[in-house]
Amino acid sequence: MCKKEKYFRFRLCLLLLAAILFGLNSLMIPQASGQKRFDGIEITVFTQPPPFIAKPVQMFRADWEKKTGAKVKLITAPWAELYPKMISSFTMGAKKYDIIIFPAAWLADFAGNNFLVPLDDFIAKDKELAWNDILPVYRERICSYAGEIWAVPMDGDNHIFYYRKDALDNLEYQKKFKDKYGYALAPPKTWKQHREIAEFFNGWDWDGDGRLEYGVVEAMRKDDQAYWTFFSRAAAYVSIPGQPGGLFFDPNTMEPLINSPGHVKALEDWIKVKQFGVPGVVNMDSGEIRNVFTIGDASMAIDWGDIGVMADTSPESTIKGQCGYTIMPGTTRVWDYKKQTWAEFPNGNQAPYLAFGGWLAAIDAKSDHIEAAYDFISFLGKPENSYISVTTPETGFNPCRKMHFDRLAGWFGYGFVNPKDYLGAIEATIAHDNVQPDLRIPGTARYFEALDPQLAMALAGNKTAKEALDAVAKEWKRITEDIGKDAQLKAYRASLGLLIK
């Protein structure tokens, strides 16, 4: 065998070896990717269009896909189409969405009909999610229905109270206010004080910017979110600490309480404060009030966490560092629906309201990929990712975990001047002994839709508070009868954590 031939054979052997190694390698690759838990699976997530609420899905899906081998398909629909699309997919068993991210108020409609997967077992085994770090009110009340957990909170929502520090802390104004009203000017503890402060700061240039400023700005527009503002005002008038159920229905009879003297008084107060509002306040929606407050036109406002974010981080804001935060004012008299009398609270009764309750993520009970869907929800909601979401602009997510309140670095990075105060007001609201959760029974949207035009008519001066709320009570009775009184009573008691009769 000549040298040349030997060399040729040697090269042939090398080539064969390379081919074998290449073959083995290509066999190894699928084996390696097969080790990824959900290789080849595609899950669909359905929520409203980005940026708000859908943005965190866009932010974290690539990492999860890399980790698990699965794919995430995001489907969105405008707000008004969310509920119809979700409910029609569930009722038809269409399995269109594996995960839905939806408002907490709809949980009863979905969980009550077993459209969702109960998550208790998943959560019990899940170390990554740090379930106990989620604040108890979201963990135990907002995500639960009839004793089971059906969703993971992505966002915590509640109304807090905003005021202009440069107005209320001004020594000259404090003196003038005390001379006029006989008590110290400070963030209001009662709705009466709130009205008087609104009156004091209405219609003059108290911040020296050459323009008139006004007392208050609150969302009053129909077909927006006015009913949540109303319940935030009414809660303290009708919620006696330790006595559940005063805000919506009598939990023993399912009779509407919406036209109780407490509710009527709250609406009368709201109508009265309108005169100290920014011109046109009667038809302003949440978006408008945020703009109006952050460009410096009003001394006080009620909103979710959004005004706080915009005041310090929006380039259009003229009040950076001047925004104060506290829990909602209260009352000194509370309507006791059981005794049918006013109860006196000389030191004040506060009852912050978890308006809206936040956005939850849940899984369609008929999904073919329940495990993968849960894994993605857990990834999205785990502490570190959740923290990034609540401290990133335009995610629409607000704090709902203990660690969101403990770590301030992210909030300073976000642009907050006084994050401790902002988070303090939210925490004080959520952790309050007399905090009132939102209505969470089947047909919630119908009850609110019946209330909305009547509030609008009362605010526009077409009806008195009593006339408007009597009409709502009549309509609520009809809706309850229509859906089924017994079933609704059970659902309402379940939502309040009461024993189901």
* Residues with Cβ within 8 Å of residue 339, at least 6 apart in sequence: none
Q: Which residues bind another protein (CB under 8 A)?
A: 80-81, 83-84, 87, 90-92, 109, 113, 221-224, 278-283, 285, 297, 442, 445-446, 448-450, 452-453, 456-457, 459-462, 478, 482-484, 487
Please give the helix or strand (H or E) that residue 349 lies within, else none.
strand 341-349
Q: Check if the beta carbon of residue 472 is closer than 8 Å to that of residue 256.
A: yes
Nearer to another protein by Cβ, of 280 and 393: the residue is 280
Cis peptide before 442 (omega within 30 of 0): no
- Smallest distance, another protein to C-beta of residue 422, A: 27
Residue 37 CB neighbour total at 10 angstroms? 13
Q: How far is the C-alpha of 161 from the C-alpha of 396, rounded, in Å?
A: 18
- Smallest distance, another protein to C-beta of residue 46, A: 16
Nearer to another protein by Cβ, of 262 and 277: the residue is 277
Q: How far is the C-alpha of 201 from the C-alpha of 220, rounded, in Å?
A: 20
- Smallest distance, another protein to C-beta of residue 202, A: 14
- Smallest distance, another protein to C-beta of residue 182, A: 33
Nearer to another protein by Cβ, of 457 and 498: the residue is 457
Going by the DSSP 8-state scheme, the letter that residue 164 receives in this structure is E
Nearer to another protein by Cβ, of 209 and 384: the residue is 209
Nearer to another protein by Cβ, of 84 and 393: the residue is 84
What are the C-alpha distances in Å from 62 to residues 66, 70, 74, 102, 466? 6, 10, 12, 22, 54
What are the C-alpha distances in Å from 125 to residues 120, 122, 218, 366, 375? 9, 5, 44, 22, 12
- Smallest distance, another protein to C-beta of residue 161, A: 23
Q: How far is the C-alpha of 374 from the C-alpha of 330, rounded, in Å?
A: 40
Beta bridge partners of 153: 360
Nearer to another protein by Cβ, of 323 and 450: the residue is 450
- Smallest distance, another protein to C-beta of residue 456, A: 5
Nearer to another protein by Cβ, of 377 and 472: the residue is 472
Q: How far is the C-alpha of 291 from the C-alpha of 307, rounded, in Å?
A: 8
Nearer to another protein by Cβ, of 164 and 333: the residue is 164
- Smallest distance, another protein to C-beta of residue 462, A: 5
Q: Which two tokens stand for residue 458?
A: 């009362």
